């Protein structure tokens, strides 16, 4: 996928995050780029999951099962894990935003307009 095409696909979700939660769209887009390889990772292609969000027991939506690398007691292991599946990249972005808000991650407070200047 071309870089501008990917940005066009994720920008609405990122703008939503900025308008509704104060998280700069550029930060959300950058995270999506890094974690999904510009939307080319197997998980992002197969399940529109940009951030590797797993589908734990509290998830009632669609999911896909994929092999992933986990570390247990310092030992690298390949395990089959359930990952959330979304209808769109923007749904994936809204999900990660909700995750941040639910977990009250310290970083969230640092990603507001009071700390960064928009251009």
Average pLDDT for 62-76 = 95
pLDDT digits (tens, 9 = 90+) for 15-43: 999 999 888 999 999 999 999 999 999 99
Give all domains of the chain, ordered by start, each with its CATH number: 3-110 (1.10.530.10)
Q: Give pTM, 2 decimals.
A: 0.81
Report helix, strand or coil for 60.
Answer: coil
Average pLDDT for 39-60 = 96
- State how far the Cα of 25 lies from the Cα of 74, in Å rounded to an integer: 35
Band (pLDDT 50/70/90 cuts) for residue 2 is very high
- State how far the Cα of 82 lies from the Cα of 44, in Å rounded to an integer: 14
Average pLDDT for 59-76 = 95
In this prediction, what percent of the chain has a pLDDT beyond 90?
A: 75
> Are 85 and 44 within 8 A, CB to CB?
no
- State how far the Cα of 81 lies from the Cα of 63, in Å rounded to an integer: 10
Q: Is the pLDDT of residue 68 over 90?
A: yes
């Amino acid at each position: 996928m071309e870089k501008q095409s990917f940005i066009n696909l994720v920008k609405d979700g990122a703008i939503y995050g900025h308008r509704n939660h104060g998280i700069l769209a550029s930060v959300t887009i950058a995270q999506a780029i890094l974690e999904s390889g510009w939307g080319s990772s197997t998980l992002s292609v197969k399940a529109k999951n940009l951030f590797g969000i797993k589908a734990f027991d509290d998830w009632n939506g669609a999911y896909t099962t994929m092999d992933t690398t986990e570390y247990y007691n310092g030992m690298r292991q390949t395990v089959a894990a359930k990952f959330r599946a979304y209808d769109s990249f923007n749904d994936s972005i809204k999900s990660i935003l909700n995750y941040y808000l639910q977990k009250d991650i310290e970083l969230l407070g640092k990603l507001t307009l009071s700390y960064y200047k928009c251009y």
